[in-house]
Amino acid sequence: MDTSSVAKPHYEINDTKNVHLLEERQSATFNVEEFTQFMFGQSDNYYEINTRRKIIRLALAHPIHRTHLPFEYLNADEHYSLVIRKSLLAIEEAKHLKITNDKHRQWFFYIFSSGRFAFYIHDVMCTYAIETMSNEEQKRKFLPLAKSYRITTAYTQTELGHGTDLRRLETEAVFDRETDSFVLNTPTLTSTKFWPGALARSSNYALLMAHLYAPDRNHPCGNQMFLVQLRDLDTHELLPGVETGSISTRFNDCAGDNGYLRLTNVRVPRTNMLMKAAEVDRNGNFQRCGDARVLYGAMIHMRIHLSYSFAVSLAQAITIATRYSAVRFQGSNPQGKETRILDYPLQQEKLVPCLASAYAFLVTFLSLNNYFNNLKTNETVFFRQLPELHALAAGLKAYTSSVGERLAQNCRVSCGGHGFLFASGIIGIRNFLDASTSAEGDTVVLYQQTARYILKMIQRVEEDSDKGLDASIAYLRAKVWSGKTMINLEDYCHLFESRAQLLAKEALALMFESSLSPYATFLKNSIQLVQLAKAHMETYIMRSFLEQVNKAAHHPKFSVILEQLFYVFAIHTLRNESKDFIRLNLLTAEQIYELENRLLPDLYTRLRPNLVPLVDAFDFHDVELDSCLGRYDGQAYQALMERARLNPANQEKVPPIWKAIKQGALSKL
């Protein structure tokens, strides 16, 4: 597939059917397509917007998309069956179309399956884990099977009684020398694997974390990863000793076939333990044969990729809410004319910070993803920078999911009652972000991991060590902000970095002053440490955003827009955390009042003509949004009525229960 040429946008301005939305697009002070190409179109840009456009067109050309009702109108069996049909067909179509690049295939699968690709975890996390955690022989054996989807895996770590604390996992793998195999069991109720996506009905293998015992039950060797077959590859029947099932009803269909797993004396070959970092030989002797830190690679990769998903989800939510706000009128002005709700300052207060945050999150993902990919090319450098990388990946996943969930809810509220319909498109986004604050790492647990790294770095600074600091934390040695006013973008970055530095010094002092054990001290101060981690991530996001603004130096119109979005993100974040800036004597209450009540509303006014063009620049296809309210053409009300009439409940003129009542047959029901 040709990925080099520029592809036409999904829509042209002439596709706008709503006159009010057309007015919004005609008010733009910049060229939307040129801005999209600048932000997302460069050949080295992860988003590869031109390739993505071509992939979307290929995915939507298939006739299957015109054969079914909207997903919210399907019952549980219909929903699951359609997801599997589309997912398997997507794999075949990608092969037929010769889409071989992993990222491009994931995009194709996502669009083709209406955002519900059944083997998403297998693609994004499990295959990567097999590739990075297997020895060369295992890679030759397992990777072709995984990449051809002959085997499909569920990442099976979380248990009913334990999640983030891996040391407490109870699933066991005991080596049996006679059969050269491991015997796997979930020996207690709480050891039941619980929550993994695609585990209930879809995957035929599990990439399973278990506590290893070798050469026998008396010798624990820590947690290891095993590739465990769950189902017969020809019949899809569960194998002996394997019990799986769904953990919920309709929620399960939306969340991704989440399930539980119990194992009773299930045997896997010795060579099914992934052995890049540790191995067990034929006699059951356990030895480490590489750097155990390699295990972090798959986890960091997943957290960075999730941050991308959260940023895109927030961008979709704000696109829907902004377009709807441009066509919705409510209330009258003194002249008796209805007011467009996007013109209300209170509506702008809900939406503009969401828009600024979406752009901030998207560019921050690019920054961290590029850093991760560069480090991967040199294992020595990767391991040296692993503490920083782990802290950033954990913190960004926590920040983008938790803040994104709150902002997506603002988008939902901004759409009024219609925003609560599944047909709005925002409910699914909000629910996804809500679940994501817990999935693949609870928010506060991840923040504490980031805080531990910051504490080590500030201790290095306080000890006056000659050791250097990682780039993301170098501000710990910078001079504290002492300016009277913020003049430019760099001033805001410096201000936020000074806040994080002072919070880090306070946290270190609390740790040293305590007479409690290190564990008890950390626990006692965990609230402050989470705040420290958030402050650190805000400095990283703002630095990443500033870097993108600087790239626009030769594009004055783009530069102005990006600067305005930067200021909105910075001031909105600052006012939400104002207690820190006041308490640390970085700003006065009066200064924050001026920023919040003078400068921020002024920024909303200046951005107002470009709000719709800025969400158009995300370049989402209507199918991606799956929203009646956020359609590009602006026909929100027509779309709502069309969707309502498709509801199967409307097919019966008189519902069966009322027929029975009116015919006097209620007693027979």
Active-site annotation, residues: 440
CA distance 248 to 287: 41
Indicate the angle between helix axes 49-60 and 32-40, nearest 10 degrees: 100
Structural contact between residues 336 and 272, judged by C-beta atoms closer than 8 angstroms: no
**Concatenated DSSP letters of 60-96:** HTSGGGGSS--GGGS-HHHHHHHHHHHHHHHHHHHHH
Residue 16 is labelled as binding a ligand: no
Give the pair of three-digit tokens for residue 93: 């179509």
Tell me which H or E stretch contains 55: helix 49-60
Give the pair of three-digit tokens for residue 329: 């009128």
Helix (H, G, I), strand (E, B) or coil at 332: strand
Give the pair of three-digit tokens for residue 483: 């300016």
Residue 330 φ/ψ, nearest 5 degrees: -155, 130
Structural contact between residues 169 and 157, judged by C-beta atoms closer than 8 angstroms: yes
**Concatenated DSSP letters of 156-202:** E--BSS-SS-GGG---EEEEETTTTEEEEE--SGGGSEE--TTTTTT
Give the pair of three-digit tokens for residue 220: 């624990």
CA distance 239 to 253: 24
Please tell me the chain's helix, strand, coil percentages from 3-state DSSP, rounded to the nearest 5. 60, 10, 30
Asked whether the bond before 648 is cis by omega within 30 degrees of 0, the reply is no
Helix (H, G, I), strand (E, B) or coil at 648: helix
Comparing CA positions, the residue from 327, 241, 299 lying closest to residue 23 is: 327
Strand stretches in 195-308, DSSP E: 205-213, 220-229, 242-246, 259-263, 266-269, 278-280, 286-288
CA distance 567 to 574: 10
Residue 437 is labelled as binding a ligand: no
CA distance 413 to 179: 60
Structural contact between residues 274 and 264, judged by C-beta atoms closer than 8 angstroms: no
Q: How far is CA 216 from the centre of its chain?
A: 41
Residue 412 φ/ψ, nearest 5 degrees: -60, -50
Structural contact between residues 455 and 512, judged by C-beta atoms closer than 8 angstroms: no
Residue 284 φ/ψ, nearest 5 degrees: 90, 10
Residue 205, CB half-sphere, CA atoms under 13 Å: how many?
A: 22
Residues making up the binding site: 158, 197
Residues making up the binding site for FAD: 158, 197
